[in-house]
Chains A and B, each alone.
Chain A
């Protein structure tokens, strides 16, 4: 799994971008997107995904079930 940003809800405020420990977030076509290959759901870094914690619009940074759950390297 990874997180994704629902672009119709994104206000493009950029709050999430600097909080991501994996530098997985970037601006694309006026809203912010998460690179699922880089997203670790903040496991191993923080208690909760930072993008979702700082996002001002609820339910905008959500789990993308189409990706397998991230495993913290042993």
Chain B
């Protein structure tokens, strides 16, 4: 059984790797026009035009495949507290602001505790397929702890895919070890390829026993990051690049970064909004550096999309996140609880469960294709956004008042394309609606024409209508994309018949802070 698992994840031969990487380098995402709205776009839906070798590696990875994240879960283990660079968007006193809840230091784990946690989680959540090490510091600034953890997990849970996330400074030194552990996914955070811009983001880096500052530090960092990226892709290890969008500092420059990483074989680019609330105590938070609005972020992602696949479903998870993206179950797996757990790691049960997940997934794709065909022949330039309340599985299955976030889809005659998610405060707590949080929900989805829900009360319904957002509950518990397309078709019919007039919506606010599980 183990042999077959390893066959499935085997690293391609050297010659094949070259071909594949060439294919990625030449891969043009959804075509030449940015944000074309094609439903089969890159990582968004099915295989699309991804090379088969890459698709096989990403299709069950929740962080890499937008479609997979509805069905498969991942977990992070916080074994790597040390960091070797300083970023202006991070305050180490409170953990990394972009990866963890500010004010709460992640529970640090030893590699042995981490391995036990992975087994405990994988036994409880059979769709957990990916283990990542993402800090709270830099995994490669803690190489012994990181690789010891990988070693223990490879031994006890060989079906789990390993990945890590790094700032890249130490990456070139560890590429061979990473390849040796069959780590087939690596994320590098690259915020600039111009040291002058880098000097505004990184106060210092620590390298070879010396602290470097200013442009010299940024030059060192960018050289090492790009070198590490090239070395990984040469070895057939999939690389995603994360970038933090900082308005006025690197927002325009990220188009250059996108080109630089694409040409070095990165297969996916994830542009994330800066989190800079003053209470996080980061340099940017204290200097009043703002984060981007939803429209600014989308515009930048759209402008990079012609170059390569863009990731839209990132939730900037905590370094100790557990479960499906957007559904954090880390509170169930604290060190005390894990150590007390009886763990029965049953590979066959996991496989059987995952086979069932695959069936559901195929049904969802088929439903979308069927509805998509009804749009054939529709001609309209109208493009609009809609928000969806969902608990997962690609269904409209969440009550408006219970939604911790909304998924946003862009609708056009090309279909429904996932473009992001918006976190909100819970509207309904203890059975009562909270008027103040309703305002924040409206601000978060203010760029949407409609919101799809499983159920919604009379009051919020009226307020949403006043704000110009149509609450839609007629597709409760149906597939998101299929329903959105059906709604869009009737919207177009009404516009064509003159019953309604299409108006553009405004901008929306991005809620600050990492997603945490609401009790």
Q: Which of A's residues lie within 8 Å of B, judged by CB?
A: 9, 11-15, 18-19, 46-48, 50, 53-54, 56-57
Interface: B84 (CB within 8 A): yes
Interface: B491 (CB within 8 A): no
- Taking a contact as CB atoms under 8 Å apart, the answer to whether B209 and A11 are in contact is no
A48 to B209, CA, bound (A): 8
A12 to B92, CA, bound (A): 10
Interface: B335 (CB within 8 A): no
- Taking a contact as CB atoms under 8 Å apart, the answer to whether B209 and A12 are in contact is no
A70 to B325, CA, bound (A): 53
Find the residue from A13, A50, A57 having the highest chain B CB count within 10 A: A13
- Taking a contact as CB atoms under 8 Å apart, the answer to whether A13 and B82 are in contact is yes
| Chain B positions within 8 Å of A11 at CB level | 81, 92-93, 105
A57-B92, A57-B93 known; A15+B209 contact, CB < 8 A: no
- Measured between C-beta atoms, what is the minimum distance from A23 to chain B in Å? 15
A11-B93, A13-B137, A57-B92 known; A50+B209 contact, CB < 8 A: yes
A46 to B207, CA, bound (A): 12
A57 to B86, CA, bound (A): 9
Of the A-B pairs whose beta carbons lie under 8 Å apart in the complex, a sample of 10, sorted by A's number, is A11-B105, A12-B81, A13-B83, A13-B137, A15-B137, A15-B141, A46-B209, A54-B211, A56-B92, A57-B92
Closest to B108 in A: A12
* Number of residue pairs A-B, CB distance < 8 angstroms: 45
Find the residue from A9, A15, A47, A50 having the highest chain B CB count within 10 A: A15
| Chain A positions within 8 Å of B82 at CB level | 13-15, 18, 54
Find the residue from A12, A53, A54, A57 having the highest chain B CB count within 10 A: A54
Closest to B105 in A: A11
Q: Would you give the 0/1 interface string for B79-111, flagging 1 where the beta carbon is closer than 8 Å to chain A?
A: 001111010000011000000000001001000
Q: Which of B's residues lie within 8 Å of A, judged by CB?
A: 81-84, 86, 92-93, 105, 108, 137, 141-142, 144, 206, 209-211
- Taking a contact as CB atoms under 8 Å apart, the answer to whether A54 and B92 are in contact is no
If A11-B92, A15-B206 are given as contacts, then 20 extra A-B residue pairs at C-beta distance below 8 Å, sorted by A number, are: A9-B93, A12-B105, A13-B81, A13-B92, A13-B137, A14-B82, A14-B142, A15-B81, A15-B82, A15-B84, A15-B137, A18-B82, A18-B144, A19-B209, A46-B210, A48-B211, A50-B209, A53-B209, A56-B86, A57-B92
| Chain B positions within 8 Å of A15 at CB level | 81-84, 137, 141, 206
The one of A13, A14, A18, A53 that contacts B211, using a Cβ cutoff of 8 Å:
A53
Closest to B141 in A: A15
| Chain B positions within 8 Å of A48 at CB level | 210-211
| Chain A positions within 8 Å of B137 at CB level | 13, 15
Closest to B204 in A: A53
- Measured between C-beta atoms, what is the minimum distance from B35 to chain A in Å? 38
A51 to B142, CA, bound (A): 15
- Taking a contact as CB atoms under 8 Å apart, the answer to whether A14 and B81 are in contact is yes
| Chain B positions within 8 Å of A14 at CB level | 81-82, 142
- Measured between C-beta atoms, what is the minimum distance from A35 to chain B in Å? 20
- Measured between C-beta atoms, what is the minimum distance from B113 to chain A in Å? 15
| Chain B positions within 8 Å of A12 at CB level | 81, 105, 108
A11-B105, A46-B209 known; A54+B81 contact, CB < 8 A: no
